[in-house]
């Protein structure tokens, strides 16, 4: 599957926010989220592109059914350069260093997409 085919809801109930592929050397941003400020979209691009440059494979940021921001990585079976351990460590680092950004994105998704009242989100 090409990275452009990721838009909209996935079979597992998630909605892709953005992602990058080391195989296609492409970045994908779901047009559904075009209303996000430009600086946030740039930061998401940097996160995704740096991830696949360092780790390899495919990296996706997606929202779960409850609005939680999830990270998913995939690699081809034949990709011996993909760093599975490094992927876990880098995701942990992203969660720690970008915690405010991630919380804000989750709140945005819950309020504007899932239509959950702000006081409940």
Between 2 and 58, whose confidence is greater? 58
In a domain, residue 120? The reply is no
DSSP string for the chain = --GGGG-SB-TTS-EEEEEEETTTTEEEE-GGGTTS-HHHHHHHHHHHHHHHHHT-SEEEEEE-TTS-EEEEEE--TT-TT--HHHHHHHHHHHHHHTHHHHHHHHHHIIIIIS---TTT-
CA 12 to mean position of chain CA atoms: 15
pLDDT at 86: 96
In a domain, residue 8? The reply is yes
In a domain, residue 119? The reply is no
pLDDT at 5: 57
In a domain, residue 121? The reply is no
pTM tops 0.85, yes or no: yes
In a domain, residue 46? The reply is yes
Average pLDDT over residues 4-33: 84
Domain hosting residue 28, numbered range:
3-113
Give the count of domains, the chain.
1
Average pLDDT over residues 90-110: 98
Between 2 and 110, whose confidence is greater? 110
Q: What is the pLDDT of residues 54-86, one digit of tens each?
A: 999 999 999 999 999 999 999 999 988 899 999
**Is-contact 49 57, C-beta < 8 A?**
no
Mean pLDDT of the chain: 92
pLDDT at 13: 84
Average pLDDT over residues 29-48: 97
Average pLDDT over residues 42-49: 98
- pLDDT class for 121, splitting at 50, 70, 90? confident
In a domain, residue 118? The reply is no
């Amino acid at each position: 599957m090409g990275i452009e085919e990721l838009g909209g809801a996935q079979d597992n109930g998630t909605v892709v926010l953005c992602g990058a592929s080391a195989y296609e050397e492409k970045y994908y941003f779901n047009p559904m989220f075009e209303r996000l400020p430009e600086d946030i979209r740039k930061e998401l691009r940097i996160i995704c592109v740096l991830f696949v440059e360092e780790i390899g494979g495919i990296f996706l940021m997606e929202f779960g059914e409850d609005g939680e921001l999830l990270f998913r990585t995939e690699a081809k079976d034949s990709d011996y350069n993909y760093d599975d351990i490094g992927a876990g460590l880098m995701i942990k680092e992203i969660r720690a260093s970008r915690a405010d950004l991630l919380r804000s994105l989750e709140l945005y998704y819950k309020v504007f997409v899932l239509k959950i009242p702000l006081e409940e989100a």
